Structure 1
Amino acid sequence: MRKNAIGRAGRRSTRPLALAAVAAVVLTGCSASRQDSKSGDAGHAAGDARATLSITPAEGGGKVPVTKRVVVRADGGTLASVDVTSPGPGMMKGTLSEDKTTWTSSSALAPGAVYTVKASGHGQGEKLSKSSTFATQEATHTVVGTYSPDKGTTVGVAMPVSITFNKPISDKASVERKLSVSASPAVEGAWSWMKDRNGKDRIDYRPREYWKPGTKVTLRMTLAGVNAGGGLYGTQDREVHFTVGSAVRTTVDVAKKTMTVAKDGRVIRTMPISAGKKGFETWNGTMPVLGKVPTIRMNSSTVGIFGPEAYDLGAVKWDVQLTPSGTYAHAAPWNDGKFGRINSSHGCIGLSTKDAKWFYEQVHLGDPVTVVNSKGTVATNNGYGDWNVAWSTWKAGSATD
């Protein structure tokens, strides 16, 4: 956290102490005039009481439970700043009492971590300082979230923030409260929980509408020490920045057998395609790009297709992945003569080699590809199908509303 600078307002709070000292001196003088040496000694002792700083947990006190809070107190003075290093980015956050005598951490401690506390203050005309280092207990059970997109990346306008956890989360509300997304320009957005295709707990954040090009986005995960339920503790503190690039939006019309690509609102190309045939229809709905590779082997056994419809296409070029279940847009030279005329694939979007290469070079992670006039709708958890549910339904998936 940033230093809690107190400034002049903090120094004013020492006045009552100074006045008390003056009062003691006056009383000593009166008593002395009556030869009351005992009263004089008591007044002198009160005036010399020194201000001190104390830190809890104390250094050398053994490993600290993650349920404890860091507390810094100024006795006989006020606090000027408190810095607590933490495993994550920046300093640990905390709150200062109105009289500026007590600072209390507002976030949980991380398991198996070392913290250093440095405090400074003022008391009776002198500067105060104190430091302490302590370690926390290791957690018996921990949980980790794998997040996307990565820091420093540039993504498409339909890219959600997605976090998949390696263990079940029973207290979803506690975890969700420690996640935040901020954007410039600001957006209306919401978190929503789901089961990923592999059965793991996953939470995604998406704005109500697509991001605007150029938006700067920050994901903050302050999960260190958070009880995710059943004694399962988080360990991560992360701050992830990414940027939204140009608005590259693709529409695939299965009925017309065309793919239309627009950039920043202007159509830049329309190409003939061959989509899924009967029984293997390409999903309707928006499927943000998951990734792309220049060459991949496509074998039907990997997507559960056997028998008469089985295939092994070897090296397939210019592959843009749309779902983890196996939907791609790719070059399909074996379908030459069918593009724009016949839908003959097993669910993928086939293009000529030339068109596939051009499309491959245009799109990036998070660019939306929307399929219309087909059958069925891609599931929310089949890649980033977040955009295929109504906004009210999406918000209902939050654990904190």
Structure 2
Amino acid sequence: MKNTRSRNQRRAVHVVALTSAAALLVAGCSSAGATGSGTEGAGKPAKETAKSGGPSSIAIDTKTSGKITVIADGGALTSVDVSAPGPGKVGGTLSEDKSVWTSTTPLAPGATYTISARGTGGDGAPLSKSTSYTTPAAAKTFVGTYNADKGSTVGVALPVSITFNKPIHDKAAVERKLKVTSSPAIEGAWSWLKDRDGKDRIDYRPKEYWKPGTSVTLRMDLAGVDAGGGVYGTQQRVVNFRIGDAVTSTVDVVKKTMTVSRNGKVLRTLKVSTGKETFETWNGTMVVLSKVPSIRMNSATVGIFGPEAYDLGDVKWDVQLTPSGTYAHAAPWNEGKFGRVNASHGCIGMSTSDAKWFYDQVRFGDPVTVVNSKDTVAVNNGYGAWNVDWETWKKGSALS
């Protein structure tokens, strides 16, 4: 509750008494440039220092933005633990005389932190204090949507991808707070791009495909990060996932075949029909985005009208390769053309039985590479990162 004994103490919060004459103070500073809890005396630091045998105090100090400060007044700190809203702890530094601890981890706006501190008074008596502090909400925040689910198993070609709901003006500040680690370790890099809907997006890919069995961890320490223009991050995330078998597929539009391999061993070579003239299937490497057993395919959704228009219901065993509408699927209406004629509007068609078999082999993140076609798939048309050479990819980092 608010202490109203004096004008200078209006922002102090009364807490439990200490048995030592030295007081342990915990000061929380406002995040995102806003004031701390309460509205009186905004911008005026306030501390309530205990007299001998009196109570300790917790003060909300709005003079410095974005920090938590723990003070052992007349004593020394032995430990400070500040839990974050997400996984992990808030880091901090201790002054040379061990009387002041200051947080170094940015604080998320509108988040509650639990603070526990221990120390010793000048007379050697133990000090302890626990409290919670809720940062003011920021007027503008951003979040990133990431593509790998926690605990999932994905394909060897999946980049770690994060798409943001607000423009990221300070890309370097955001990128510094993103980290991907793996076991075994690999060489990898972040690169910024615009998603197809114009949103800012950053992808992380290894130099080569992930090795099967690799454990990957994405860390997003975006809480309190200013993306520019006063838009603050709120997320603390740790996402662990695993890389599955190396299921790779190569489509040759000249031979009209798709060769599917698992961990380097060819499983089958299927007869296919790819895009006909002026509707050629994208060249380059695409990555499996999703699978559905049945879908309606309407050409109007991909901008095809007139004599080439189509509206096909109940298309079976659909493996999506690009958000622009490229699928590998069953195409029984082209029976007799597989392995002989390219007759689709850009998709990879095959018999119903072959399509079902392919559907069962692949998972999210598996690569499908098309050769001998035209117009390489764009980097942002799904996960086209593999169509950029490594040196060019690294230059897309804001920290390069």
TM-score, normalising length: structure 1:
0.84
Counterpart contact for 1:217–1:243, Cα < 8 Å: yes
Q: Distance in 2 between matches of 1:339 and 1:297?
A: 21
Counterpart contact for 1:316–1:330, Cα < 8 Å: yes
- Give runs of aligned pairs for residues 103-118 of structure 1, distance below 5 A: 103-118=101-116
Query: CA shift at 1:89, angstroms?
Result: 1.2
* Aligned match of 2:85: 87
Q: Determine if the alignment matches structure 1 residue 316 to structure 2 residue 287.
A: no
CA RMSD of aligned residues (A): 1.9
Q: Distance in 1 between matches of 2:152 and 2:190?
A: 21
Q: Distance in 2 between matches of 1:74 and 1:317?
A: 68
* Aligned match of 1:16: none
* Aligned match of 1:102: 100
Give the partner amino acid of 2:109.
P
Query: CA shift at 1:76, angstroms?
Result: 4.3
| Correspondence for 2:38 among 62, 67, 75 | 62
Give the partner amino acid of 1:314.
G
* Runs (5+) with no aligned partner, structure 2: 1-19, 31-35, 40-59
Query: CA shift at 1:67, angstroms?
Result: 3.0
- Give runs of aligned pairs for residues 372-387 of structure 1, distance below 5 A: 372-387=371-386
- Give runs of aligned pairs for residues 2-401 of structure 1, distance below 5 A: 50-57=21-28, 62=38, 67-123=65-121, 124-401=123-400
Q: Deviations over 1:304-355 (max 9, x none)?
A: 0000110111110000000000000000111111111111100000011010
Which shows bigger deviation, 325-334 or 64-73?
A: 64-73
Query: CA shift at 1:130, angstroms?
Result: 1.4
Give the partner amino acid of 2:166.
K
Which shows bigger deviation, 49-58 or 170-179?
A: 49-58
Q: 1:248 to 1:138 in 2, by over 3 A?
A: same
* Runs (5+) with no aligned partner, structure 1: 1-48
Give the partner amino acid of 2:303.
G
* Aligned match of 1:21: none
Give the partner amino acid of 1:94.
G
Q: Distance in 2 between matches of 1:75 and 1:394?
A: 52
SS at match of 1:329: strand
Q: Deviations over 1:259-304 (max 9, x none)?
A: 0011011111111100001100001111110010000001100000
Q: Distance in 1 between matches of 2:185 and 2:125?
A: 45
Query: CA shift at 1:61, angstroms?
Result: 5.4
Counterpart contact for 1:318–1:356, Cα < 8 Å: yes
Residues matched between the structures, number: 353
Give the partner amino acid of 2:294.
T
Q: Deviations over 1:44-77 (max 9, x none)?
A: xxxxx94442221289953777932112233444
Q: Distance in 2 between matches of 1:306 and 1:367?
A: 32
Q: Deviations over 1:3-30 (max 9, x none)?
A: xxxxxxxxxxxxxxxxxxxxxxxxxxxx
Q: 1:71 to 1:307 in 2, by over 3 A?
A: same
* Aligned match of 2:42: none
Q: Distance in 1 between matches of 2:153 and 2:109?
A: 33
Q: Distance in 2 between matches of 1:220 and 1:212?
A: 20
Query: CA shift at 1:99, angstroms?
Result: 4.7
Counterpart contact for 1:58–1:134, Cα < 8 Å: no
Give the partner amino acid of 1:179.
L
Q: Deviations over 1:216-235 (max 9, x none)?
A: 11111111111111111111
Give the partner amino acid of 1:233.
Y
Q: Distance in 1 between matches of 2:95 and 2:213?
A: 40
Counterpart contact for 1:248–1:263, Cα < 8 Å: yes
Counterpart contact for 2:29–2:65, Cα < 8 Å: no
Query: CA shift at 1:137, angstroms?
Result: 1.3
SS at match of 1:398: coil
Counterpart contact for 1:287–1:384, Cα < 8 Å: yes
SS at match of 1:174: helix
Q: Deviations over 1:365-400 (max 9, x none)?
A: 000111111001000000000111011111111111
Query: CA shift at 1:98, angstroms?
Result: 5.0
Counterpart contact for 1:151–1:241, Cα < 8 Å: yes
Q: Distance in 1 between matches of 2:158 and 2:118?
A: 44
Give the partner amino acid of 2:81.
D
Query: CA shift at 1:92, angstroms?
Result: 1.5
Greater share of helix: 1
Aligned-pair identity in percent equals 70
Give the partner amino acid of 1:74.
A
Q: Distance in 2 between matches of 1:383 and 1:94?
A: 40
Q: Distance in 1 between matches of 2:66 and 2:364?
A: 42
Which shows bigger deviation, 123-132 or 228-237?
A: 123-132
Query: CA shift at 1:88, angstroms?
Result: 1.4
